Amino acid sequence: MMKKLFILQIFAFAFFLTANAQSFTLQGRVSDEKNNPIELATVYCAAQGKVTMTSLKGEFSLQLHSADSVVVRFSMIGYKTKSRVLRRPKGKQMLQIVLYDDNVTLKDVQVQGQKIQSGQTQELKTKDMKMAPTASGNAVESMVQSQAGVSTHSELSSQYNVRGGSFNENSVYINNIEVYRPFLVRSGQQEGLSIINPDMVEKIGFSTGGFEARYGDKMSSALDITYKRPQKFEASLQASLLGASAYVAIANKKFSWLNGIRYKTTRYLLGSLDEKGEYKPNFLDYQTYLNYRPNKRWEIDFIGNISDNHYNFYPTNRTTTFGTMENVKNFTVYFDGQEKDLFRTYFGSFGLTYKFSDKTSIKLLASAFYTKEQEKYDIQGQYWLTQTETSENLGVGTYFEHARNYLDANVESIKMMFNHKAKHHDIEGAATLKRERIKENSVEYEMRDSAGYSVPHTGKDLNMIYSLKANNRLNANRIEAYLQDTWRFATGNDSIQTLYTLNYGVRMSHWNFNSETIVSPRLSLGIIPAFNENITFRLATGLYYQAPFYKELRDTSTVNGITVATLNNKIKSQRSIHFIFGYDYRFKMMDRPFRFTTEAYYKILQNLVPYSINNVKVVYYGDNVCDGHAAGIDFKLYGEFVPGTDSWITLSLMDTKMNLNGRSLPLPTDQRWAANLFFTDYFPGTTRWKMSLKLAYADGLPFSAPHRELQRNSFRAPAYKRADIGMSYRLINNEDHHSLIALKNLWLGVDCLNLFGISNVNSYYWITDVTNQQYAVPNYLTGRQINARVLLEF
């Protein structure tokens, strides 16, 4: 009997060991608090030495041995680590894990993770805008201008060129609505505040090429802005010598209402220009964003914007010295007259979303844009151009400039969107109907008198050196539609996988003004190879159109010295075929995260409408008469050069050409090379003191004498060189403490704009004497200026 009992005990113990040695499969999904999948999160069981990573859909699968208790941990940089204890697990176990943001602060330095870019749109961090030095006051565009492949040659302007494209080739979206700029702006001095309010921005997506079909018919870039939807009260107040802003958000879990008002004046900054006088620029902007979610099915959005921009200028005199050390020239002008400009815009959008489920939704969007623009000036100048070494008069004369330019524009649209998320697919589509109405009445002329003779001098006639008339009306309808799918899949086994993100789609548009229909297929592929999860290869191609709008339509003809601008209804869309190869490498150095990115591109340009650029004014020549190319390579190194702060350095190399009438000319935006640095640092031993440094060094753009841009671009402006530095001190920090004081942060800052006082050239004023000798007088940008700032956050 005792022997049988002993044998039974042995069998029971063996069964117990066998049961505990059984394996089981752990599967599930890791997401954030908004149910977005967290890709490449680590899932590991330390006791068994087993580890895996989540897929692009946040899913995972892991084979483990059963035991009384099995501890599994889930972690990702920027999120709090979570543990789960499984009691005697068997068979297949399913887990849904939610990771929350890690707001734990280490020595006042906030730890955040890096999002992996698998498509052609990179995400820019909004915190990098905070207290960064800027002359334009438009923080989002200032950050975009420092990215690889992007260039600008005026600190006064928020506009930018991308990979050889003009200012008009960049699309901008706010909450899925395409937004517009004023049409008549010709200089950075006139520019007010952009429609993007940086205080209200939650997410910034930016693509320099190969972007998805959801983004409109532009050839160069797409900027995608998403506004905040906070769940509690927040506010901020900022003031400086260049303006002020106030922001307040009232919110709970179902409702959020954001309000922002901004005021900008560049009077202090413009005082450093060569052209002296009384500057009275006043730019005012109010914006509101309302979001209401009554239940899990319905969502209502409203955006409203009113912008009132005035630029008044009463010039008195100008003195510009230019040339070389051995050949110095002096240009002196005494003015009489004034300029009064008005740019008043209204924008509104309404969105209604219905969610059939967490994965399927439709959205109806309606928007309206209206702009009223006036550009009026009557300025007379008496000038002397002298050779400084010999005091010889090279040119003496008088000029008179006159303009009465009026433009009213309305663009209304209605858009129906749908989105469906399947297991591996994200399908999106939309159809849009736009109505475009523009009314223009413009008269411009310039009289030039040199040494008592009217220029151009014929001996018989009295002609203006420049004269333009335009009286045009545009009333057109545009239909747009797109369909795209983002397919995420993997190859390999559960432990070693190659991850793919394939985006493919097509876009269609029809414009009744020129009866043109365009179809734009687009394709991109992102690959994270199994041999190294820190590497991403990206490939993209597509056919991109620049659908003509008002500026491209204006065709000019000159008869008896008078140029008349009319609308060309036979113009076709410009187009560009993109070929892009990208490489991303994520690594750690000194135990800090870094990301190196490079993209090589080649763009075949066809049906181009040639144009010229003067300051920020783009003048098209109204017909598709040339083709060309743009090719280059961009590099960017991004990371924590200093612990807890983000910095980056970029380098861009580019070559552009257009073929016109058998001649090969560089595009007006042919910037052969450019380098940018944005660097942040803390003072040793403290995080209260913060320094931000912006450096820009870019090749000059080609240019030629006025009205000869289509003949040759034989000159090139000097390189653009600029350094801006800002110092900030955090006087009050209640962000990480539960305090009864409503004030969360108080920052004091001082900026030195154009630190080295470099005289950068933005454009040229051309002097012609009676012998038809021309002199290019540089128009210099702003000099060194100090700006003081204060920021309060509640």
At 362-386, the pLDDT tens digits run 999 999 999 999 999 999 988 888 8
Query: Does the structure show a pLDDT above 90 at 40?
Result: no
- Report the greatest alpha carbon distance in the chain: 138
Handedness of CA 133, 136, 140, 146 (dihedral sign): negative
pLDDT at 93: 86
- Quick check: helix, strand or coil at residue 200? helix
Q: Where are the beta strands (DSSP E) in 699-757?
A: 702-703, 715-716, 720-733, 745-753
Rounded to whole angstroms, how far apart are CA atoms 258 and 198? Answer: 12
Identify whether the C-beta of residue 88 lies closer than 8 Å to the C-beta of residue 66. yes
In the numeric block, which tokens belong to residue 508? 């269609």
- Mean pLDDT, to the nearest integer, of 80-109? 74
pLDDT at 398: 86
Which residues does 390 contact at the CB level (< 8 Å), separation at least 6?
none
Rounded to whole angstroms, how far apart are CA atoms 304 and 288? Answer: 5
Per-residue pLDDT band at 711 (split at 50, 70, 90)? low
Give the residue among 367, 365, 341 at the shortest CA–CA distance from 354: 365
Average pLDDT, the chain: 87
Task: Name which of 347-356, 638-647, 727-736 the model is least confident about.
Answer: 727-736
Alpha helices in 49-206 (DSSP H): 139-145
336 to 313, 339, 384, 610: CA distances (angstroms):
11, 10, 15, 35
Task: Kindly state the DSSP code that residue 666 receives in the 8-state scheme.
Answer: -
Query: Does the structure show a pLDDT above 70 at 294?
Result: yes
Task: Kindly state the DSSP code that residue 106 receives in the 8-state scheme.
Answer: E
Query: Does the structure show a pLDDT above 60 at 213?
Result: yes
Per-residue pLDDT band at 112 (split at 50, 70, 90)? very low
Rounded to whole angstroms, how far apart are CA atoms 395 and 397? Answer: 7
In the numeric block, which tokens belong to residue 601? 């591109």
Identify whether the C-beta of residue 139 lies closer than 8 Å to the C-beta of residue 126. no
pTM: 0.83
Q: How many CA atoms lie within 13 A of 260 on its CB side?
A: 26
Q: Which helix (H) or strand (E) holds 3?
A: helix 2-20
pLDDT at 756: 92
Identify whether the C-beta of residue 8 lies closer than 8 Å to the C-beta of residue 1. no
- Quick check: helix, strand or coil at residue 346? strand
- Residue labelled with tokens 């202090």: 268
Give the residue among 471, 452, 473 at the shortest CA–CA distance from 462: 452
764 to 49, 181, 702, 760, 781: CA distances (angstroms):
69, 25, 12, 12, 11
Question: What torsion do the CA atoms of 202, 206, 212, 213 make, to the nearest 10 degrees?
Answer: 80
Question: What torsion do the CA atoms of 575, 580, 586, 587 make, to the nearest 10 degrees?
Answer: -130
Q: Percentage of the chain surpassing pLDDT 90?
A: 50
pLDDT at 374: 94
Per-residue pLDDT band at 741 (split at 50, 70, 90)? low
Amino acid at 337: G
Beta bridge partners of 577: 543, 604
Q: Select the more confidently predicted residue: 766 or 648.
A: 648
- Mean pLDDT, to the nearest integer, of 286-307? 94
pLDDT at 15: 39
Amino acid at 642: V
Task: Name which of 11-15, 225-229, 553-557 the model is least confident about.
Answer: 11-15
In the numeric block, which tokens belong to residue 357? 């489920």
pLDDT at 14: 42
DSSP 751-792: EEESTT----EEEEEEEE-TT--EEEEEEE----EEEEEEEE
- Mean pLDDT, to the nearest integer, of 668-694? 90
Buried-state track 17-56, b at ≥16 Cβ within 10 A, e below 16 = eeeeeeebebebbbbbeeeebbbbbbbbbeebebebbbbb
Identify whether the C-beta of residue 414 lies closer than 8 Å to the C-beta of residue 366. yes
Task: Kindly state the DSSP code that residue 167 receives in the 8-state scheme.
Answer: G
Identify whether the C-beta of residue 762 lies closer than 8 Å to the C-beta of residue 615. yes
Out of 1-5, 41-45, 441-445, 588-592, the most confident range is: 441-445
At 46-80, the pLDDT tens digits run 888 888 888 878 888 888 888 888 899 988 877 88
Query: Does the structure show a pLDDT above 80 at 179?
Result: yes
Query: Does the structure show a pLDDT above 80 at 591?
Result: yes
Per-residue pLDDT band at 16 (split at 50, 70, 90)? very low
- Mean pLDDT, to the nearest integer, of 309-319? 92
pLDDT at 770: 60
Rounded to whole angstroms, how far apart are CA atoms 121 and 224? Answer: 9
- Mean pLDDT, to the nearest integer, of 402-418? 95
Per-residue pLDDT band at 184 (split at 50, 70, 90)? confident
In the numeric block, which tokens belong to residue 23? 């394996």
Beta bridge partners of 348: 304, 368
Identify whether the C-beta of residue 327 lies closer than 8 Å to the C-beta of residue 284. no
- Mean pLDDT, to the nearest integer, of 268-294? 91
pLDDT at 126: 86
pLDDT at 3: 47
Identify whether the C-beta of residue 20 lies closer than 8 Å to the C-beta of residue 51. no
Q: How far is CA 434 from the centre of its chain?
A: 24
Identify whether the C-beta of residue 551 lies closer than 8 Å to the C-beta of residue 618. yes
- Mean pLDDT, to the nearest integer, of 313-335? 88
Query: Does the structure show a pLDDT above 60 at 21?
Result: no
Q: Is the peptide bond before 89 cis (omega within 30 degrees of 0)?
A: no
Give the residue among 290, 288, 403, 428 at the shortest CA–CA distance from 346: 288
Rounded to whole angstroms, how far apart are CA atoms 46 and 203? Answer: 36
In the numeric block, which tokens belong to residue 570? 């036979």
Query: Does the structure show a pLDDT above 70 at 107?
Result: no
- Residue labelled with tokens 């990215």: 147
Q: Select the more confidently predicted residue: 637 or 686.
A: 637
pLDDT at 709: 57
Handedness of CA 450, 455, 460, 462 (dihedral sign): negative
Rg from Cα positions in the chain: 30
Which residues does 601 contact at the CB level (< 8 Å), separation at least 6?
163, 209, 210, 578, 579, 580, 581, 630, 631, 632, 633, 634
Count other C-beta atoms under 10 Å from residue 307's C-beta. 21
Amino acid at 216: G
- Quick check: helix, strand or coil at residue 103? coil
